[in-house]
Chains A and B, each alone.
Chain A
Amino acid sequence: MRTLLALALLPLPAMAGTPEVVNDHILPATDRFATAAHALADAAGADCSASALDAPYRQAFDAWMGLSHLAFGPLEQDGRALTVAFWPDPRGLVARSVRGLVADQDPVVDDPAGFAEVSIAGRGLMALEQLMADEVGDYECRYARAIATDLATIADAVQADWQDHAQLMLDAGQDGNDRYLSAREADQAIYTALLSGIEFDADQRLGRPMGSFDKPRPKLAEAWRSDRPLRNIELSLAALRDMAVALSDDPIPLTEAAFDNAQAQVAELQDDPRLEGVTDPTQRLKIEILQQRIRAIGTAIEGEIGGGLGLTAGFNSKDGD
């Protein structure tokens, strides 16, 4: 009797909101991306000029930022995340691949199955951005269509596969589920994606253009040709915040305050969408502050969500040199 009582009085560990993350965050994001990718493909089918593609390209990229942080499962499979947006690209492979196909007038753009075999540097949103920045002729038009169609195909596959993967996460620990042997493993996958996403925003999306003080590298910013470096960070933070709130069943005031701080700093930088200010000492300081504030979100998440749920980050697909 005494034992039972003691057990009953033990505080229950906080529950993780994996079902909420899956149903309210992930699945709607895959739907939005599929819709936007199809709109882009339809637009390219009707008129493949850069001016006609501009708006649907932006909307597709916006939608992509709603799920780009989900580095495990369906987006990891077949390298889909990197195929949708091949970045970072320090060796300039996107420009080289796009110009290579154009120079060769490679007929692979007229064959969807063949195009799916092309180097990922020549596919996806980054290749389309490069193509739209260059001169447009008949070949470029067909190429743009091929990219848009390919993106819609990938988006459909991601949407369908996430339906299955969602079930795996919700059925974690049940017999026959080899992927998630316990609910904790599903929680950990989401938690790892959350922390990795924060790290990616700070170290890559900001760190790459920042370079060093003596050698800033604004041209290494993500999608700078379409003025997206700051916007991608803004949208990524919004998506990560949404996921963090869904993951924790308890209130997360410290984490939310850290997001508030970083998002306020994003607002301070709205006049520099390309983050070209990395070359200017005063403006650079504002960007460094943003980087610090994004890193502070990671610290808050580790303490409040990781500590609360008893989770530590797993291995990160972006580990390595």
Chain B
Amino acid sequence: MKTTLAISALALATASPALAGKPEVVANYIAIAHAGYEDSLIAARDLQAAVDALIETPSAEALQDARAAWLAARVPYQQTEALRFGNAIVDDWEGKVNAWPLDEGLIDYVDPSYGGASDANEYAALNVVAAPTFTLSGEDIDATEITPDLLSGQLHEADAIEANVATGYHAIEFLLWGQDLNGTDHGAGDRPWTDYAAGDDCAGGNCDRRGDYLKAATDLLVSDLEWMTAQWAEGGEAATGLTADPDAAISAMLTGMGSLSYGELAGERMKLGVMLNDPEEEHDCFSDNTHNSHYYDGLGIRNVYLGEYTRIDGTVVSGESLSSLVAEADASVDQSLRAGLDDSVAKLGRIKTVAEGGTSYDQMLARGNDAGEGLIMAAVDALVAQTQDIERAVTLLGAQDVAIEGSDSLDSPDAVFQ
């Protein structure tokens, strides 16, 4: 009797976590992805309203409101970046909304220190805001009306050069903040609100066209996010594809976590900037928001593993997690990976704390700033360390072809290091 009881108790104890299967984990991942893109869309619509208000009634306050809306919009979006590398549908689309770094002189006026057209990019100083007509790769372009179609169809990645970023968050960021001319000293871009003022008050010239550009880019961001949100809704292409193949979906989840942790965030966005001492290597360089963009990337990676996402209205989306699958296979790997993710989020959090305290990310990149370098490299090391445990999770769950699929570097050589 006692034996039977013990066995059934044991069966209960082991059965309940074992019920979390791959399909449930994938369903929760899709729910988190959908919520993340829907939040990004909601926040982008707030930005759109603020941009409309700025153009309608330009003022210092209206510009400030639009900047605040842009910063808020980055919070949910950056958390979705953990989805990117595992899902071709995201990776193929991502360049429209978050391409970086950019030769901003393509869009608007720049400081003389920026230089002009270069060997690498003859349109680096095209200045579409000031040029109603111009020639691009031998084609005459009529830009008298600045429309979303002009931006996405003709200007974006013009001349097959990725630095010609005409759309997305960073183009909008440049139009709201302007160039950050402080180098590795404190201070973000300082565009005057009068760049959007009417008539004689217009400071930078072509204020109407600048407003048209900002409006077109923001409208485009909203429509791009509408499209991506729909892909993750029930019946959407991303949701359907992953649901149909849970093994591939688990692989996509881990690929997204590992590729963002290692090659992209730790490598290209963080370590490279430190090693180049280059403030242009800041992800959100015009607004000095890089500490946040990195932090929410890190949080997004952890969200995928823990199967939990806190929405911008405070509700929590959660369910069966990758963590439970890995724990079933090997509790020590799960424990180590969870500790690693907590560590990287904490180290990225330190950068955020210091930046919010007044030492901005570009200052940390300065040559000889050992404290700043230490802060950044501690986060880099944590991200690299967690990648090893992500690889172990891949091995445990039998996920195939991780890191081979979904890497932009494979099908688009020019993309790497842009």
Contacts and interface: CB of A to CB of B under 8 A. Distances in A.
A89 B417 CA distance: 8
Give the dominant DSSP class at B's interface. helix
Contacts of A210: 413
Interface stretch (A201-209, A232-240, A241-249, A254-262): A201-209
B196 interface: no
B409 A320 contact: yes
Given A121-B276, A320-B259, A312 B402 contact: yes
A215 B159 contact: yes
Interface in B265-296: 265, 267-268, 271-272, 274-278
Interface residues of B, number: 53
A190 to B, nearest CB: 14
A210 B414 CA distance: 10
A118 interface: yes
A320 B278 contact: no
Contact of A317 (B118, B267, B278, B367): B267
Contact of A315 (B159, B162, B259): B259
A317 B263 CA distance: 4
Contacts of A231: none
B418 A321 contact: yes
B141 interface: no
Given A315-B402, A316-B263, A318-B263, A119 B409 contact: no
A207 B413 contact: yes
Q: A-side binding surface: helix, strand, loop or mixed?
A: loop
A27 interface: no
Contacts of A90: 120, 162-163, 414, 417-418
Contact of A319 (B162, B274, B395, B409): B409
A317 B94 CA distance: 20
Given A83-B275, A92-B118, A313-B404, A320 B414 contact: no
Contacts of B403: 313-316, 319
B286 to A, nearest CB: 17
Interface string A278-321: 00000000000000000000000000000000001111111111
Contacts of A159: none
Contacts of A181: 392
B262 interface: yes
B174 to A, nearest CB: 17
A312 B401 CA distance: 7
A315 B120 contact: no
Contact of A91 (B163, B274, B388): B163
The residue among A188, A203, A212, A219 with the most chain B CB atoms within 10 A of its own CB is: A203
A199 B413 CA distance: 10
Interface in B395-418: 395, 400-404, 407-410, 413-418
Nearest to A97: B276
A114 B368 CA distance: 8
A68 B399 CA distance: 29
Given A90-B417, A212-B160, A215-B159, A315 B258 contact: yes
B367 A320 contact: no
A82 interface: yes
B391 A321 contact: no
Nearest to B390: A315
A92 B118 CA distance: 9
Contacts of B272: 79, 82
A17 interface: no
B342 interface: no
Contacts, number: 130
A151 interface: no
A45 interface: no
A173 interface: no
A311 to B, nearest CB: 10
Given A119-B277, A119-B278, A219-B119, A204 B267 contact: no
A121 B272 CA distance: 10
B275 A199 contact: no
Contacts of B410: 199, 203
Interface string B131-173: 0000000000000000000000000000110110000000000
B413 A320 contact: no
B367 to A, nearest CB: 5
Contact of A215 (B85, B160, B258, B367): B160
Contacts of B247: none
B360 interface: no
Contacts of B391: 185, 188, 314-315
Nearest to B384: A76
A192 to B, nearest CB: 8
A315 B256 CA distance: 10
25 contacts: A76-B384, A88-B416, A89-B417, A90-B418, A92-B118, A114-B368, A117-B277, A119-B276, A120-B275, A121-B278, A203-B409, A204-B413, A207-B414, A212-B160, A214-B160, A312-B394, A312-B402, A313-B403, A313-B404, A314-B402, A315-B387, A318-B267, A319-B264, A320-B259, A321-B264
Interface pairs A-B: 8 shortest CB-CB: A207-B413, A319-B263, A320-B264, A320-B263, A203-B413, A319-B259, A315-B258, A120-B275
Given A319-B85, A320-B85, 4 more contacts: A82-B272, A90-B120, A207-B414, A318-B263
